[in-house]
Structures are given as structure tokens and as C-alpha cells.
Structure 1
Amino acid sequence: MRPISVVIPTRRLSTALRERCAGTAACLPGAEIILCEPDDLDPLEAQPRLPAGWRLVRAPRGRGTQCNGGARAASGELLMFLHDDTDLPRDAGSVLETAFRDPGIGMACFRIAFDQRHWLLGAYAWGSRFESRLTTFGDQAMTIRRDLFAAVGGFPDWPLFEDVELARRVRRCSRIAKLPSAVTTSASRFLANGPARQQLANGLLLARFLLGAPPERLAALYERQRGAISGGDAA
């Protein structure tokens, strides 16, 4: 398999995340694992030793800026950006290798599945097999050629919808493949807030973004919504 670096932006490295990363490494033997924390955290009293091939770096807080920071530290030919609540499928390596044999594919994303069942989440998961502005997002383990990531300028330094913008930049000059396998992500936020309510809120924010609303304004609204519904524990 071609060299791949997995960049995982997170609020702070935890025992649970270390266990999840071990599963990621098992799905992608030989992959470089880069965890990127915000650089405004207080220093840890005792930084845990990481397994060989893992690195912990810091960057300005925000998913896009942390992804960019991890990418700068990465060495792989392919860069995967994986959310810290998401697990890869066992065949991740083989489906990625197959997709990137096509030189016309610049980026690939997995379909999505949830760790709990609900008919509305199932409908959302079914739609993730299609590649479009409405169905391609960062929670699908975006994987991009390193040279293309550099050519399009990486992620914008936005607090929200940085994944939508990266995909838009890629579509201008290359193709995005949807892979036949699915990552599995946490459904806790959807179920806590109500799947219909959460999906409606997400859809309205995306619509406003596509109509030109500034990401900074939308991010503030997003955080207020999440704080009102779930006590402010934003990911």
C-alpha cells in the first residue's frame, strides 16, 4: 500500500482515543498516525509515550487549522483526515489502494455508518454513497493526495465548513471518489439532540453557507445551538 498519514484533530489525547487509534493502525498497517491537539492547552504533567509511528503535534485550535498542522508534520503520499470519534473499516487499505490507482482521482471519501440504529440516520448514511456538495463531508475520512492538498491550499482557516470548502477546491481540478466501504462514527449527538432536529439544524447552516454566509458567523450560531441543546460540549 502506498504511504499514508492519518491526521486526527482532537481536543486532547485520551485513553479512549489511543484505543481507537490502535484500531486505525490495524486497518492501515504501516500508516503514520498524527494526533493534533490545540496549542492553547495547558502542558500535560506527563505526556504518555506513543507507539512507534505515532506523533502528537499541536496547532491553533479549530478542526481546519489542526488538520493543516497535522498535514505539515506528515510524510505520507496520501493524507487522511479522520475525526476522533470515527472508526475505519477493516478493508480501508485495500479500497484506498484500488481507488488511487486511477490517476484521475485526487481525493476519496468513505461512506458513513453510525454506531447506533435509527431510520433517519440510516437514510443519511445511504445518501453518503453519492459525491456532491450535500453528501461529502469531513466525517467520511477524506483522503487526498499530498501534492493536490498542497496545490489547493489545504483547508481554509475557518471554524466551520472547512471540509466543504476543501472538497469544492478539489472538484475544480480533480475528481472525488466515494469508496464502497463505510467508516463508523458516533451517533450520540444526533440521538441526544433528536436526529430530525440535528439534521435540520445542520442542513440550515449548510444552506446559509452555500448562499454566502460567513463561516465565522455560522460557527457562533452552531456553538450556541449545541450549547442550548447539549450543555455546550462541542466537538
Structure 2
Amino acid sequence: MRVSVITAALNEEANIQAAVGSAQAAGADEIIVVDGGSADATIALATQAGATLIHSPPGRAIQQNAGVAASSGDVLLFLHADCRLAAESISQIRQRDDGFVFGAFRQKIDAAPILYRLVEWGNDLRIRWLGLPYGDQAIAVRRAAFEQAGQFANVPFLEDYLLSRKLRRQHWPTLLPGPVITSARRWRKQGVIRQTLLNWRLLAAYHRGVPLEELAARYRRHDQPK
């Protein structure tokens, strides 16, 4: 089983080497960084770290689909640039062999306050009960299932949520022990409770029919082009 790790990056010089290094330590067969037009040292650092670098227009969905097109793995693992895999992560997928179709990892947010433990717990339950892993839990999926689901929708926001909704119709996701170490930068900037409530409001707004472009502007994600 070949596992390709795919990371979309835009101005991630502070994080990209750690992300690539964690994928190497976990035993990835292939590591592809898809740069969306970084103006900092992301490109040089990703190359120095040993990743295969490709370029695409900015936008996480577009970049990740471009990474898939350039990859050769049986399993696609989408690792956000500000996340790190545990050394055992890929072996946890391989141990399931043909039984693995779609899943993500338990999350460990890199901050100490207990509120972050509650966020982690809630995110684990979202996978178990709703079958909806998000991108910062490092979604992994068989290539065939990913293609059957139509890849990532070409949207500016919620691409991970939309993909997971399609994939869970094929196979309920596996919650892998991981963990994936996730940056707390957005929670630190906005506050844990405020950010969590914003996430819920945006998802509710999507289901009311608010355009994704408007929701993306409200969220102001780090990897979105200015």
C-alpha cells in the first residue's frame, strides 16, 4: 500500500518543514507540497525538507486536487501545512490493509488549556457519530473512493466538509489513533469559544443557502488568497 501525503501551502514558512518532516518520519511513500503562490520562503523550505514541489492557483481545494493528480499512492493523506503526523500514523493505516477506505486521526491541539481538550473530544465525536472528519484531522482516503466522490469540490470554503459528506455515503470513516498535532493559531487569535461558535454559525449559514464565497470572507482562512 503506497501512501501519498499531500499538503497545500501558501506562505507557510513557519510550519512547512515540520509538516514535511513528520510525513517522512511516519513513512510516507511520497510527499507532495502544492504551493499556491507563496511570497515567503515556503517553496525553498519545502524543497529542502525533501518534498516534491508543484505549483497551482491558490485555494486549498484546487491545490489538493492538483496534488492528487501528481501523486501515485493508493491512499491519499491530506495534511494541512500547520499540522504534524505522529510517527505511527501511516502504519495505523497500513495495518488495516484492504479494510481501510476513509478516515482521519485523533487530534492533539498544540496548546495546554483544558478548553482545547474539549475541542479535541468534540472533534473525535464528530467523526464517530456524524462521520464527518475535517481537514485539520488529516483526512486519508483510498484513491478510488476519492475519485468516486468527485475529488474536492472547487469551492473557496468547506471543501473538507463537502468531501466527507460524500465519502461517508460510501464508507463510514475510521477514527485512527494518530494523533495529528494541530496548530492552535486560529483558536489563539479568535479565542476558543468565539472560534467554535463561529464555525457552527458558518455551517448553519451554509445549510440555509448562504453562498460559500460569503462564508469564506467571514472565516478569513490563512491559506485563502488576499
| Alignment-derived partner of residue 120 in structure 1 | 115
| Alignment-derived partner of residue 34 in structure 1 | 32
Listed one character per residue, the Cα deviations across residues 93-115 of structure 1 (whole Å, up to 9, x for unaligned) are: 2211133431xx42110011111
| Alignment-derived partner of residue 209 in structure 2 | 212
Structure 1 residue 51, shift from structure 2 partner: 6.2
| Alignment-derived partner of residue 21 in structure 2 | 22
Match of 2:190 among 173, 190, 193: 193
Aligned partner of residue 207 in structure 1, secondary structure: helix
Listed one character per residue, the Cα deviations across residues 38-93 of structure 1 (whole Å, up to 9, x for unaligned) are: 1x55798x957836963111122111111101110000000000000101112112
Unaligned stretches of 5+ in structure 2? Answer: none
Maintained 8 Å contact 2:106/2:177: yes
Maintained 8 Å contact 2:76/2:140: yes
Alpha carbons of 1:180 and 1:23: their partners in 2 closer, same or farther (altered >3 Å)?
closer
Matches of 2:39 and 2:59, distance apart in 1 = 16
Mapping 1:5-84, distance limit 5 Å: 5-12=4-11, 14=13, 16-28=15-27, 30-38=28-36, 40=37, 50=47, 54-84=51-81
Maintained 8 Å contact 2:131/2:173: no
Aligned partner of residue 133 in structure 2, secondary structure: coil
What one-letter code is carried by the residue in structure 1 that aligns with 2:2? P
Matches of 1:32 and 1:144, distance apart in 2 = 15
Maintained 8 Å contact 2:15/2:82: no
What one-letter code is carried by the residue in structure 2 that aligns with 1:148? A
RMSD, matched Cα: 2.5
| Alignment-derived partner of residue 104 in structure 2 | 109
| Alignment-derived partner of residue 156 in structure 2 | 159
What one-letter code is carried by the residue in structure 2 that aligns with 1:4? V
Alpha carbons of 1:171 and 1:52: their partners in 2 closer, same or farther (altered >3 Å)?
same
Structure 1 residue 175, shift from structure 2 partner: 2.3
Deviates more, 1:159-168 or 1:187-196: 187-196
Matches of 1:49 and 1:159, distance apart in 2 = 24
Alpha carbons of 1:53 and 1:117: their partners in 2 closer, same or farther (altered >3 Å)?
closer
Larger Rg over CA atoms: 1
Structure 1 residue 32, shift from structure 2 partner: 0.4
Structure 1 residue 152, shift from structure 2 partner: 1.1
Aligned partner of residue 76 in structure 1, secondary structure: coil
Deviates more, 1:157-166 or 1:115-124: 115-124
1:170 to 2:170 alignment: no
Structure 1 residue 19, shift from structure 2 partner: 3.8
Match of 1:99 among 88, 96, 99: 96
Maintained 8 Å contact 1:31/1:53: no
Aligned residues: 220
TM-score by length of 1: 0.84
Maintained 8 Å contact 1:99/1:177: no
Unaligned stretches of 5+ in structure 1? Answer: 227-233
Deviates more, 1:16-25 or 1:68-77: 16-25
Alpha carbons of 1:36 and 1:49: their partners in 2 closer, same or farther (altered >3 Å)?
closer
What one-letter code is carried by the residue in structure 2 that aligns with 1:63? R
